[in-house]
Structure 1
Amino acid sequence: MTERTGASMARLLLEGGAVQISGEQPFILAAGWASPAYVDCRLLIGEPRLRRAAVALAAAAVREALPAMPEIVAGAETAGIPWAAWLAEALDRPLRYVRKRPLGIGRNAQVEGGAVEGRSALLVDDLTTDGSSKATFVRGLRAAGAAVTHGLCLFHHGTFPGGAERLAGLGLSLVALASWRDVLAVRGACALPAAERAVLERFLSDPVAWSAAHGGRAMLERPAL
């Protein structure tokens, strides 16, 4: 992803208040890691200007990074669904969504919105931490017959070990619009205050040790592929 895209997405997240830094009470992320920093992309959903700009960046990134346009855009339950819907509209592609697990009633389907068999699908989510949830969604789409080689997220933590290996094992190439590097590079009125920046930089210098010292995971588990 280009530096310009990263800078633009990071600025949108900061303007929307989505980047939250807590030096006192750590956030426990979905993968079990403790972090002083949390990115809440859902805060952009309610702001028309911010969400339109984010979707425009996502559509441009897909056109730039993917070797071919996907036949289907698939949103990951739950936060990925609205972004997938807006991106599908921007790309003029059908929309599907994939659950963490089959519903257990009705059709008992994990993939909703129509058939995906024999079609290429772009998996869309708001965040990626260490790739654990992506494995669930990729397996669900592939079990339904979709070809899934690329995923897109608005923000990639990219700090904890094992994520790159897990994505590689899945055969999934991730397009991330922004990372912590992009957030730290932002200057001006919406940049992180100096004290919050210092907290984030200390964390990023050794995320696993920080997590262990603040009640989160203390070691890397072997990625489940």
Structure 2
Amino acid sequence: MKEPLSMSLSAQTRREIAQITALALLDIHAVEVAKDRPFILSSGVASPVYIDVRKVISYPAVREKLMGFATDVIDANVGRDQIDAIAGAETAGIPFAAWIAFETGLPMQYVRKRAQGFGPQAHIEGVWEPGQRVLLVEDLTTDGASKLRFCQALRAAGLVVKDVFMLFQYDIFAETGAAMDRAGIRLHELCTWADILDVAVAHNRFTKQERDIIAAFLKDPLGWSTDHGGARSLTF
């Protein structure tokens, strides 16, 4: 079990974590640029770029490094003494929650997308009790809508959830921050699309035209989506 950090991570350390994570995701080809037609995200937003963080589970060295980073960020930003258990979000969040639970020595549950049975407990698998302080773990966050639903399911069962950790956050939709603030939820990540683009430029990944398209999307994602046949707004 990894010992918790005694102080917050410096801005330089956070920047290094973001850059190393972004490069690792590029190296394992987790990032794909659209060719003939844009990707359509679950929110309906059209995007010129797609990321599959689940690929991390197939690369042990990358997985070990990123889970170490995850524990450092959680210890510094949330505090291990503020968490009683780790909850993985079905399905992509479950393996990462398991590794983080192992790293921190904390109990684990997982929360279902759809209830199995009846009552508030129908969404949750594992041993838990009302009042338990839970950290929700996911692979990534796009607009944050699914994170809100998972947190609502946990809260309905009497669990206390204020923080969500994911390896990757899009961090491009202003609406996401407002929705999380209203729900009393804080998001924590290793890197964002801005980090991916910075590292792609520094390491000459993708063509300049592809990087310019990604930059245009990040600057105005809903405008880009509208122009390419996708959703014009987000719904929470």
The two structures have a TM-score, normalised by structure 1, of 0.91
Q: Distance in 2 between matches of 1:110 and 1:145?
A: 12
Stretches (4+) displaced over 4 A: 105-108, 187-190
- CA drift of 1:142 comes to 0.7
SS in 2 for 1:114: coil
TM-score (norm 2): 0.87
Does structure 1 conserve the Cα–Cα contact (< 8 Å) formed by 2:121 and 2:157?
A: no
- List gaps (5 residues or longer) in structure 1: none
Change (3 A) 1:188 1:210: closer
2:62 — aligned with what?
50
The answer for the alignment partner of 2:20 in structure 1 is 8
- Structure 2 match to 1:149: 162
Q: How does 1:15-94 map to 2 (within 5 A)?
A: 15-67=27-79, 68-94=81-107
Query: Which residue does the alignment assign to 1:216?
Result: 230
Secondary structure, aligned partner of 2:98: helix
One-letter code of the match for 1:130?
D
Give 3-state SS (helix, strand or coil) of 2:167's partner. strand
Query: Relative to structure 1, is the Cα distance of residues 161 and 23 closer, same or farther in structure 2, using a 3 angstrom cutoff?
Result: farther
Query: What's 1:133 paired with?
Result: 146
Give the total of aligned pairs: 222
Q: What is the distance in 1 between the residues matched to 2:17 and 2:89?
A: 22
> SS at 1:162's partner residue?
helix
Larger relative helix fraction: 2
Q: How big is each residue's C-alpha offset from its partner over 1:183-224, in whole Å with a ceiling of 9 and x where there is no partner? A: 122155573442321220121222111111222111244x3x
Pair 1:108–1:73, CA change in 2 (3 A): closer
Distance 1:141 1:108 in 2: 8
Helix, strand or coil: the match of 2:122?
coil
Q: Gaps spanning 5+ residues in structure 2: where? A: 1-10
Question: Could you list the per-position Cα deviations for residues 43-73 of structure 1 after superposition, in whole angstroms to 9, with x for gaps in the alignment?
Answer: 1111111111111110111011114441100
**Post-superposition shift, 1:110?**
0.1
Percent identity over paired residues:
38
Q: Distance in 2 between matches of 1:59 and 1:220?
A: 31
C-alpha RMSD of matched pairs (Å): 2.0
Q: Is the 8 A contact 1:130 1:164 kept in 2?
A: no
